[in-house]
Structure 1
Amino acid sequence: MKIKLEKIFELQRELDESLNDKVKSIGDENIDVKRIIALLVELGEFANEVKLFKYWKKQKALSYDKVYEECADVLHFISSIATKNNVKNEIEILIFNNDFSLQLAEVYKLFVQLLDNKNEDSILKAFGAFLGLTKIVNLDLKKIEDAYIRKNKINHDRIKNNY
């Protein structure tokens, strides 16, 4: 199944343009690496909210508000990487394994590979695998987009307020 993320990509381009002015003034030449590190950190925060990899704990009900918020953070960074590399906004949802932990491990591998290879295929595969992860935990695409839009506004406010 493919989904179009036109609105998310458009909003991400606008956010990145606002942020680029700030980053240029700092003069950060390692921004691409830092963007991928941030993506990995946010993926960890998303997984931490889903909790399904925590074999040592009794599973509790998910706090879907937090899960959607962390999902939006991951989307900000993967969308930023995609738009910066002129990737098309039509993403195929990829599920390699219906087990959350195994799919999560695959997403981590694909995200790490972006450090060495940011071509369109590798970005689409990484993006699609993350979307597959959201599907495994039954996240709603409309709610994902809504969470992204909310967080995008917060991020614009942060830029204006020198966060």
Structure 2
Amino acid sequence: MNLQKMFEMQKVLDERIIKEKGLEGQDLLPNTYVALDTELAEFANEGRWFKHWSNDQEPRTKHPLEVSPNGAFRKGGNPLLEEYVDCIHFFLSIAIKKGWEDAMNIQEEGFEELKKKGFEGGLTGIFLEMKWWLLNSYMSSTKKTSFSVAWSLFLSIGTIGFGFTWDQIEYAYMKKNAVNHQRQQEGY
């Protein structure tokens, strides 16, 4: 996964949004944390692993047949991966705003040991731990370290918990970044 390229793309998108929305000089960090928290909830909703009350706990990995705005039928896509990369946009934005880009440099090989051991507490346990570290990165004195741990746990949820490859994540991010630019162009 080419994180440097993703940082560059995210910075361009963030700068565009700030300029076009007239947000220069505003502290957008709290909003960015809320946006990430919201996207994490949307990701969990598509993942469905925590829905003990439902007979359907299978992750949403395929879009049903849909009608696009121009009336054409479309199918395909992976809603779970799409929500996952929505989260990545905000992780990147936070790191850029705080100057914590190096906190996101996680060695991909480091996930092999965790893959063998599995998640203590299952997906729910690792998800809650990740959220705790993330919120800690906003509130605590060890903010950068907390952010790095949250990012690492988030990556493990995607790669180990749901089997996303680094290439899939990067490709989906690139596609969604283009969609986000298109949305800005259309007055989103």
2:184 matched to 1:159? yes
2:85 matched to 1:72? yes
2:99 matched to 1:83? no
Q: 1:36-58: CA deviations, max 9, x gaps?
A: 00100000000110100111112
2:83 matched to 1:58? no
My pick for the range that moved more, 4-13 or 46-55, is 4-13
Asked if the contact 1:85–1:119 (Cα under 8 Å) also holds between the matched residues in 2, the reply is: no
Q: What percent identity do the matched residue pairs reach?
A: 29
TM-score if structure 2 supplies the norm length? 0.75
Q: What's the counterpart of residue 144 of structure 2?
A: 120
Which structure 1 residue ranges, 5 or more long, are not aligned? Answer: none
- In structure 2, the CA distance between the partners of 1:27 and 1:82, relative to structure 1 (3 Å rule), is closer
Asked if the contact 2:7–2:96 (Cα under 8 Å) also holds between the matched residues in 1, the reply is: yes
Which structure 2 residue ranges, 5 or more long, are not aligned? Answer: 62-77
2:165 matched to 1:140? yes
Asked if the contact 2:11–2:93 (Cα under 8 Å) also holds between the matched residues in 1, the reply is: yes
Give the number of aligned pairs. 160
Q: Quick one: distance in 2 between partners of 1:63 and 1:51?
A: 8
Asked if the contact 1:11–1:152 (Cα under 8 Å) also holds between the matched residues in 2, the reply is: yes
Q: Which has the larger radius of gyration?
A: 2
Instruction: Give the 3-state SS of the residue equivalent to 1:115 in structure 2.
Output: helix
- In structure 2, the CA distance between the partners of 1:147 and 1:98, relative to structure 1 (3 Å rule), is farther
Q: CA deviation at 1:26?
A: 4.3
What root-mean-square deviation, in Å, do the aligned CA atoms of Structure 1 and Structure 2 show? 2.3
Asked if the contact 1:4–1:90 (Cα under 8 Å) also holds between the matched residues in 2, the reply is: no
Q: What's the counterpart of residue 32 of structure 1?
A: 29
Q: CA deviation at 1:160?
A: 2.0
My pick for the range that moved more, 113-122 or 126-135, is 113-122
Paired AA for residue 5 in structure 2: K
